[in-house]
Structure 1
């Protein structure tokens, strides 16, 4: 009864917001349109975007503006839920919001790696969010033109350590810096989950993240062995300290394998290697996204008055923005609707 009372108000709020999310049928209708102006006009007529896009001129909006408008809707909706949440629910939302800090850091790093130093990113979609929910000085960070500058500017911040560890490897790629941030973030979630949640909420958070964390650890291990030739001790130091379906001895076997091929052979003997025959080192990332989405949908249906509802909605809102971005790009470049919907579904 306590869970029902605690979540009854916010559950009704989120169900109302869920009803406005763009469906696949609507995306298919967008893919039939002849140009992006009509795609924007279509979205302006939907309940999700009608109000916040009311002043948008579809004939004058370019690609970058569309992406910013879509992204800003995520932060607007997060703020709506946060304002409606009680103190316990806000603890989860504050933890969840770190993923948005990481998203912006990844954009800054992409800018640096692409050598677009004279064209800093536009943080207008994020500014209000960072003002309310972040300790990062985003205005300072977007002026950085090298990874060294960016990392030095983050001294004293929790993200400094994982980024500085990757910086020690000359062959580090943008992907690896991004993964270091992801691994750090998920480590924090796993470590504090028992302090923030109990009962069904704790079980659902553990289920929702467990397999994804296994996938992230596997992906990091394989990249570390294949590209960095990192020592086992260095690999262990950066792994999420958890075990879900992967056993400790299985992780040890893969980490301490003498060669990449030997590590792959050990992987085939794990729960994931046996259950998902098509799964290999190169497609772990897209697979863990798929698993997380499936888990969240199941948990939110089974326990509509729980933290799974909050997580599920925000995940699906972000998923909607990704799919719409792909759909509008397909319209822009004249990709056939049949081909375009496959790109959308693969996301």
Structure 2
């Protein structure tokens, strides 16, 4: 009864928002349009975008502006849910929002590593969100011209420690800094989940994130074997330091395997290899997206008065923006609609 009372209002709010998301049928209609202005005109007629986009001139918008508008819609929806959430629900949302902070830091770091002589990262899609939900000073961070400056600007923030540890490594790459932030975030989620959640909420968060972390580790192990031929010690250092359905001994066997084919054979004996017969090492990345989406939908349907409904909506909203961005590119370059839809389904 407690969950029903605490989640009834926000669940109704999210169901209403969910009903406005772009469907696959609408995506197919979009992919059959002849140019990008027609896509914008189409989106302006949808419930999700009509109110905010109604005054825009589709013929004057360029690709970068459209992507900014789509990104902004993610943060707008997050803020709407946050305003409606109670104290306990906001604890999850505040934890979840760190992924947005990491996303922006990665964009800034990419510019620094590329030594771009262009304007700093465009922070306009993030400004309102960061003003309300973050302690990061975006103006200060985007003004940095080196990684040393960026890390120094983060002093006093929780991301300072993981990034400063990487800075001490000679020849650290952009990948290393990004992985340090991801590992910090994933570890924090796993370590604090029992403090923030209980009952069904704890079970659903553990399932959703547990399978996600297992699949990310599997992806990284197989990519490192197939493309980078990394030593086991280097692979261990970059894995998410937790396991759910993957046993520690199975992870060790996969990492220590001497060949990619040997790792594939070992994978067939794991929980995921046994449960999903059609799952192979080569399609892990594609299957990961499908599995996470299905897990979140199943948990949200099973218990619509739980934290799963928050996680599920935020995931689907981000996925919608990603799919629309791909659809815009496919229309722009005249990709066959069926071919484009298949590509979208796989991402």
Matches within 5 A, 1:38-53: 38-53=38-53
2:188 corresponds to: 188
* CA RMSD in angstroms, aligned pairs only: 2.5
Deviations 1:229-285 (A, max 9, x none): 4663x7556543432111121223334456666555544432234444565556544
Q: TM-score, normalised by structure 1?
A: 0.90
Matches within 5 A, 1:1-347: 1-167=1-167, 168=169, 170=171, 172-174=173-175, 176-221=176-221, 227=228, 229=230, 232=233, 236=236, 239-257=239-257, 263=263, 266-276=266-276, 279=279, 283-347=283-347
**Greater Cα offset, 328-337 or 74-83:** 328-337
Does the residue aligned with 1:51 lie in a helix, a strand or coil? helix
Give the Å deviation of 1:152. 3.7
Does the residue aligned with 2:243 lie in a helix, a strand or coil? coil
- The unaligned stretches of length 5 or more in structure 1 are none
**Greater Cα offset, 177-186 or 208-217:** 177-186
| Alignment partners' CA distance in 1, 2:166 and 2:325 | 30
| Alignment partners' CA distance in 2, 1:318 and 1:340 | 19
Is the CA contact (8 Å cut-off) linking 2:179 and 2:238 kept in structure 1? no
**Greater Cα offset, 254-263 or 296-305:** 254-263
| Alignment partners' CA distance in 2, 1:107 and 1:344 | 23
| Alignment partners' CA distance in 2, 1:154 and 1:326 | 33
25 and 116 in structure 1: CA distance in 2 versus 1, 3 angstrom threshold: same
**Greater Cα offset, 11-20 or 243-252:** 243-252
**Greater Cα offset, 103-112 or 301-310:** 103-112
Give the Å deviation of 1:165. 4.5
Deviations 1:278-331 (A, max 9, x none): 655565444322221110010111111110001101100111101111111111
Does the residue aligned with 1:52 lie in a helix, a strand or coil? helix
Deviations 1:133-189 (A, max 9, x none): 112221122223344443343333322333344452637354x43333222211111
Does the residue aligned with 2:155 lie in a helix, a strand or coil? coil
| Alignment partners' CA distance in 2, 1:85 and 1:239 | 33
Does the residue aligned with 1:246 lie in a helix, a strand or coil? coil
| Alignment partners' CA distance in 1, 2:165 and 2:219 | 17
Deviations 1:179-215 (A, max 9, x none): 3322221111111111111111111111111111112
| Alignment partners' CA distance in 1, 2:185 and 2:229 | 22
Give the Å deviation of 1:129. 0.8
Deviations 1:20-74 (A, max 9, x none): 1111111111111111111111111111111111221111000000000000000
135 and 220 in structure 1: CA distance in 2 versus 1, 3 angstrom threshold: farther
Q: Give the count of matched residue pairs.
A: 345
Is the CA contact (8 Å cut-off) linking 1:299 and 1:308 kept in structure 2? yes
